[in-house]
Copies of this chain bind each other. A is one copy, B any other.
Amino acid sequence: MAARIIDGAKLAERIWADTSEQVAELARRGRRLKLAALMVGEPPACRVYARSQAKQCSRMKIDYELVQLPAESDADAVTDRIDEMNRDPALTGIMVHQPLPSWIDMPAIQLRIDPYKDVEGVNPANIGMVFYKKPILAPCTALAEVELVNETDMQLRGANAVVVGQGAIVGLPISTLLIQQFATVTGCHIATRNLVEHTRQAELLIVAVGKPGLITAEHVKPGAVVIDVGINRVETTDADGKKVSRTVGDVDFESVREVAGAITPVPGGVGPVTVTMLLRNTVEAARKQMARDR
């Protein structure tokens, strides 16, 4: 029996509707939201992302400001600007577009963002607060994955989970969130010997590596929930021999769906939920600030 497809787009719509309702409620209480995105120079990928973000904020009735600094800015210029944004009471959310210029140390910048305005949840302090089970704002992708798992009937408590890929922004935070929901979590990565021996034990398998086709049917325990965080552009040839480019995950969807119990597609799985999570965090940030300043 083929796996249930977990529909990220549909889930994102529900979160969107709920978030939108919360924005309206805050507006009724006199609290307007404003998200500022800092960009140094103009990396092409950032420009596209910023435009789509501006559009989403406008639909959600969140004010949006793109703060652009010159490409040659040094770390001090960036931190000074962030300090200013931290102090501005009208600004309720701050995010920083990546990549920054190579001479700027990203974690040092992230450490500077007010944890209560850090809507991406990337300030090391916010990651640490997840450790302490007192999250202020948690990383969006990790939050998105938990929401997707909650779409299935999986009980996290006591479940064996394997997280392949242990980066600071996705793999490690999701491992922590899952442990705090009492899953038994194994963190695998490039140096793991016999990956398949680990993944085949997983009732929940989360893959965040960035390597198309890494996970095939033989890696998956029958009935497992599979969450594919990878977003890879690959070139293939269509029936007419023409080169086409498409987006795939780290999981070989066609073979794995025959084995898994539930699976997220790429595109249409983790991606849309993560994007919506940034907006939900923007609302959450405003609420947390109001509670703090009360």
Contact = CB atoms under 8 A, between A and B. Distances in A.
A224 to B, nearest CB: 16
B132 A168 contact: yes
Nearest to A190: B182
Nearest to A182: B191
A232 interface: no
Contacts of A131: 124, 127, 168, 172-173
Given A123-B128, A125-B123, A158 B111 contact: no
A182 to B, nearest CB: 4
Interface string A107-139: 110110001000000011111110111100000
Interface in A146-174: 157-158, 160, 166, 168, 172-173
A245 interface: no
A289 B132 CA distance: 26
Nearest to A195: B184
Interface of A: 105-108, 110-111, 115, 123-129, 131-134, 157-158, 160, 166, 168, 172-173, 175-176, 179, 182-193, 198
